[in-house]
A and B are shown apart, each in its own frame.
Chain A
């Protein structure tokens, strides 16, 4: 598809994996079983990703508090540690070439590795939540609260949680268990949501454990007396120099909840920075209200030998992420000729697979069946917890680009002048040009332009993403060693 070569002349490894969450860890373990040399780069200082953050360090009480699904990360991390992959923690990947060379920064210096294949397992980011007042000090995200809890055991007092999505309930229950219940939970999913979810209920029942867990969380919050406001609209944060109150409407009545800590959340979306950088094709996922990379059945993108596993392939959660990691790694092994290629045949049980009594075709079939089963809850969740219209199409005065302080109204005005897409709006207004590289405003800007032009978001498309993926010191670039190193420094 492109004139650029897609293979590095002397790759340092068979497989490079970005991210050491469930998808990256599972992919590394599977690829090592198939005999591939593997390098895993991850920004954190220990394996786990966001979902299993600090899993190795979190013991006893805190692990109990975070629940059995969090604890499930421990054996995976242990297997990952022992799998023989070269693991580079604290490594920030800031560039990926078309020939699958990766430039990464580690403790102030940059290095380079390369793979014959690449699995991008960089997961999800919280959907940015452009509401009036969302840039005030004291306003954070539910994900940020969870990082404080997992990594440091810290919980703020009297926080008001605003938004929608399963994570909002999970963090509320975890705060409750830690002894600092939230002051209130304000749910912004629109009142029509219940009608939308009913068709998906039979599918959701196939994933009964997830559903039961959700209902239990809501019951526990109610029993503990945490006020739940459902169907809230027109949410905003008031304050002059910092957050002072959350204000919203419910059934025509305006509520005002004073607080100095507000955690916003509108679900999570794939982190598409690396797939955009590599110019992989993307498609608008109308159910998840986000872009997802176009993938074949084995999770390969439109760019040869580039795969996506985990939530970056579309939001699926930790169990699906690990399954996807295995699928992608097996396919890499097949393509590189270290595993026998065989089409999926009969379905087999997970027990048969783990007992080693099955062929690789049966392994495929089993993996794909497990994936389908785990995904059954998704249409239900996606319908129930669709991001609020207020966030998808912010009011004119709401800031969408925090770095360059550009409002939704300015974006609409640029469209009215004739700017056809996000890249023209970016060039014209500077929206998306700040240090976050458009992570915070990209979806909103594409959405606003699509709405204003009456086109689908994948027609107006998304920002072109350029390196560095994270800010890089000029002095570090000036001392970059252009030769890839076979032995990645540890």
Chain B
């Protein structure tokens, strides 16, 4: 750990998947890094999401970043010395009507025109080949057959451990009260009044990132949300794919141990000041109904757990990635809007490149924070 006043190359705020990944990739590039985390690594959305490693159905601007990240997922053990529970599996969005299937056909055409071929149409028979237990009324689907899923906490913890092994300092249970510039350095004043110094600053504070951006002098309307998930008892093996619906929120997968994780967009209450979340069963009943509609076998399942983690959402549901528009040597990667887990390995690599070299080839312009400056929207 650096002594008082001695500057590290990079100060990361937030030890979620994005903070840990950026720290690891920066350390690989030879930078000295300190990560400050107000709770513990992976305490919020990074450690308690549904674990989908999904390229399917992404915002068109996210597709190149998601593809880059997938390359890292495919060799994740080489990177972090832990398999992160990553398993290849098809990701499938089930179409319940012909209209929904037509939307998917248009999507595939758009992607193909941009040179992306990872998403394909499943007809009625192909859908049943991948999902034998799907309900009769489902007509087909959209699939990305070489996606997968992983264990979120195991993954974030593995990135943290590998980063630590390469010399990264983690200050956990340490809240940053204020960030400010002094000369050419960034200073972070922490809870006990002491100050951590870095030459560059990276804001990976998720739902709490808006306040940091404000201290840099720019606006980022990040909203704290609490996506909810349910887990059932162990059921006989019936599903290999990670499944979503098209016209209603759902994320559905059967884990190797037989339990089924059901989530997908319905939100509870988030209280970022106390780290609290509250499940809203009046909402979750709709999730339960959707799961039973798509997979009648679920009628006999029992819910044994539910959970939620606080996540940062942007008004346009895509993240902020890139340099600060107003402060020198400050960067942002937050607001992944409940679909950032898969992008963690890749965006961390891109941020480390950008911070170390001042340049990246990755197409991050659509994610600039300037889109929220006054008059930009």
A433 interface hit (Cβ, 8 Å)? yes
- Distance between A15 CB and nearest chain B CB, rounded to angstroms: 22
> Of all chain B residues, which has the CB nearest A436?
B304
Kindly identify, within residues 25 to 58 of chain B, every residue whose CB is under 8 Å from any CB belonging to chain A: 40, 42-43, 47-48
- Complex Cα gap A103–B301 (Å): 19
Cβ–Cβ < 8 Å partners of B327 in chain A? none
Q: Mark A405-443, 1 if CB is under 8 A from B, else 0.
A: 000000000000111110110011010011101000000
Among the stretches A83-91, A181-189, A478-486, the one at the interface with B is A478-486
> Does A477 contact B274, Cβ atoms closer than 8 Å?
no
Most buried by A among B292, B303, B306: B303
- Complex Cα gap A434–B303 (Å): 10
> Does B288 contact A466, Cβ atoms closer than 8 Å?
no
Known: A428-B154, A474-B291. A97 touches B278 (CB 8 A): yes
- Distance between A459 CB and nearest chain B CB, rounded to angstroms: 11
> Does A472 contact B302, Cβ atoms closer than 8 Å?
yes
Cβ–Cβ < 8 Å partners of B157 in chain A? 417-419, 424, 427-428
Number of inter-chain CB pairs below 8 Å: 108
Most buried by B among A3, A473, A478: A478
> Does B40 contact A466, Cβ atoms closer than 8 Å?
no
B6 interface hit (Cβ, 8 Å)? no
B99 interface hit (Cβ, 8 Å)? no
> Does B292 contact A478, Cβ atoms closer than 8 Å?
yes
Q: Mark B212-234, 1 if CB is under 8 A from A, else 0.
A: 00000000000000000011110
> Of all chain B residues, which has the CB nearest A432?
B305
> Of all chain B residues, which has the CB nearest A479?
B285
- Complex Cα gap A423–B300 (Å): 29
- Distance between B160 CB and nearest chain A CB, rounded to angstroms: 8
> Does A95 contact B303, Cβ atoms closer than 8 Å?
no
- Complex Cα gap A474–B303 (Å): 6
Cβ–Cβ < 8 Å partners of A479 in chain B? 285
A279 interface hit (Cβ, 8 Å)? yes
A467 interface hit (Cβ, 8 Å)? yes
Known: A3-B271, A474-B299, A478-B292. A434 touches B279 (CB 8 A): no
Cβ–Cβ < 8 Å partners of A437 in chain B? 304-305
- Complex Cα gap A468–B278 (Å): 12
> Does A478 contact B274, Cβ atoms closer than 8 Å?
no
> Does B304 contact A2, Cβ atoms closer than 8 Å?
no
> Does B276 contact A4, Cβ atoms closer than 8 Å?
yes
Cβ–Cβ < 8 Å partners of A95 in chain B? 279, 281
> Of all chain A residues, which has the CB nearest B153?
A427
Q: Mark B282-305, 1 if CB is under 8 A from A, else 0.
A: 101100110110000011111111
> Does B47 contact A427, Cβ atoms closer than 8 Å?
yes
Most buried by B among A1, A420, A423, A467: A467
- Distance between A401 CB and nearest chain B CB, rounded to angstroms: 13
> Does A480 contact B274, Cβ atoms closer than 8 Å?
no
Kindly identify, within residues 304 to 351 of chain B, every residue whose CB is under 8 Å from any CB belonging to chain A: 304-308
Cβ–Cβ < 8 Å partners of B230 in chain A? 474
Q: Which of B231, B257, B274, B302 contacts A1 (CB 8 A)?
A: B274
Cβ–Cβ < 8 Å partners of B300 in chain A? 473, 475
Kindly identify, within residues 230 to 258 of chain B, every residue whose CB is under 8 Å from any CB belonging to chain A: 230-233, 257
- Complex Cα gap A244–B300 (Å): 36
Q: Mark A460-477, 1 if CB is under 8 A from B, else 0.
A: 000000111001111101
> Does A471 contact B276, Cβ atoms closer than 8 Å?
no
> Does A480 contact B161, Cβ atoms closer than 8 Å?
no
A98 interface hit (Cβ, 8 Å)? yes
Cβ–Cβ < 8 Å partners of B279 in chain A? 95, 466-467
> Does A98 contact B291, Cβ atoms closer than 8 Å?
no
> Of all chain A residues, which has the CB nearest B289?
A478
> Of all chain A residues, which has the CB nearest B285?
A480
Cβ–Cβ < 8 Å partners of B305 in chain A? 433, 437, 466, 468
- Complex Cα gap A468–B301 (Å): 14
> Does B281 contact A435, Cβ atoms closer than 8 Å?
no
- Complex Cα gap A475–B47 (Å): 28
Cβ–Cβ < 8 Å partners of A420 in chain B? 40, 172
- Complex Cα gap A417–B288 (Å): 37
- Distance between B322 CB and nearest chain A CB, rounded to angstroms: 31
> Does B304 contact A471, Cβ atoms closer than 8 Å?
yes
Cβ–Cβ < 8 Å partners of A427 in chain B? 42, 47-48, 152-154, 157
- Complex Cα gap A284–B233 (Å): 31
> Does A468 contact B285, Cβ atoms closer than 8 Å?
no
Q: Mark A209-240, 1 if CB is under 8 A from B, else 0.
A: 00000000000000000000000000000000
> Does A475 contact B299, Cβ atoms closer than 8 Å?
yes
> Does A3 contact B302, Cβ atoms closer than 8 Å?
no
- Complex Cα gap A87–B337 (Å): 45
> Does A480 contact B304, Cβ atoms closer than 8 Å?
no
> Of all chain A residues, which has the CB nearest B170?
A418
- Complex Cα gap A479–B160 (Å): 42
- Complex Cα gap A417–B232 (Å): 29
- Distance between A382 CB and nearest chain B CB, rounded to angstroms: 32
> Does B299 contact A468, Cβ atoms closer than 8 Å?
no
B111 interface hit (Cβ, 8 Å)? no
Known: A1-B274, A279-B276. A474 touches B298 (CB 8 A): yes
> Does B285 contact A466, Cβ atoms closer than 8 Å?
no
Q: Which of B278, B289, B303, B307 contacts A472 (CB 8 A)?
A: B303
Cβ–Cβ < 8 Å partners of B190 in chain A? none
> Does A474 contact B301, Cβ atoms closer than 8 Å?
yes
Cβ–Cβ < 8 Å partners of B284 in chain A? 477
Kindly identify, within residues 149 to 174 of chain B, every residue whose CB is under 8 Å from any CB belonging to chain A: 152-154, 157, 160-161, 164, 172
> Does A482 contact B271, Cβ atoms closer than 8 Å?
no
Cβ–Cβ < 8 Å partners of B152 in chain A? 427
> Does A474 contact B40, Cβ atoms closer than 8 Å?
no
B89 interface hit (Cβ, 8 Å)? no
- Distance between B305 CB and nearest chain A CB, rounded to angstroms: 6
- Complex Cα gap A279–B269 (Å): 14
Cβ–Cβ < 8 Å partners of B232 in chain A? 474
B78 interface hit (Cβ, 8 Å)? no
- Complex Cα gap A3–B298 (Å): 35
- Complex Cα gap A437–B304 (Å): 7
- Distance between B256 CB and nearest chain A CB, rounded to angstroms: 11
- Distance between A436 CB and nearest chain B CB, rounded to angstroms: 9
> Does B303 contact A480, Cβ atoms closer than 8 Å?
no
- Complex Cα gap A417–B282 (Å): 39
> Of all chain A residues, which has the CB nearest B284?
A477
Q: Which of B48, B164, B304 contacts A435 (CB 8 A)?
A: B304
Cβ–Cβ < 8 Å partners of A4 in chain B? 269, 271, 276, 278
- Distance between A102 CB and nearest chain B CB, rounded to angstroms: 11
> Of all chain A residues, which has the CB nearest B48?
A427
- Complex Cα gap A468–B228 (Å): 13
- Distance between B291 CB and nearest chain A CB, rounded to angstroms: 7
> Does A103 contact B281, Cβ atoms closer than 8 Å?
yes
Cβ–Cβ < 8 Å partners of A482 in chain B? 281-282, 285
Most buried by A among B281, B289, B298: B281
- Distance between A44 CB and nearest chain B CB, rounded to angstroms: 21
- Complex Cα gap A419–B156 (Å): 12
- Complex Cα gap A460–B308 (Å): 21
- Distance between A6 CB and nearest chain B CB, rounded to angstroms: 12
Cβ–Cβ < 8 Å partners of B291 in chain A? 474
What 6 A-B pairs come out closest when comparing CB atoms? A427-B153, A482-B282, A478-B288, A478-B289, A3-B271, A477-B288
Additional A-B contact list (12), CB under 8 Å, known A428-B157, A474-B262, A475-B300: A3-B271, A424-B47, A424-B153, A427-B152, A428-B153, A433-B304, A468-B304, A471-B233, A474-B288, A474-B303, A477-B284, A482-B281
- A residues bordering B, Cβ < 8 Å? 1-4, 95, 97-98, 103, 279, 417-421, 423-424, 427-428, 430, 433-435, 437, 466-468, 471-475, 477-480, 482
User: Could you list 9 A-B pairs, sorted by A, with CB under 8 Å?
Assistant: A419-B157, A420-B172, A423-B43, A424-B157, A427-B48, A428-B154, A468-B303, A477-B281, A477-B303
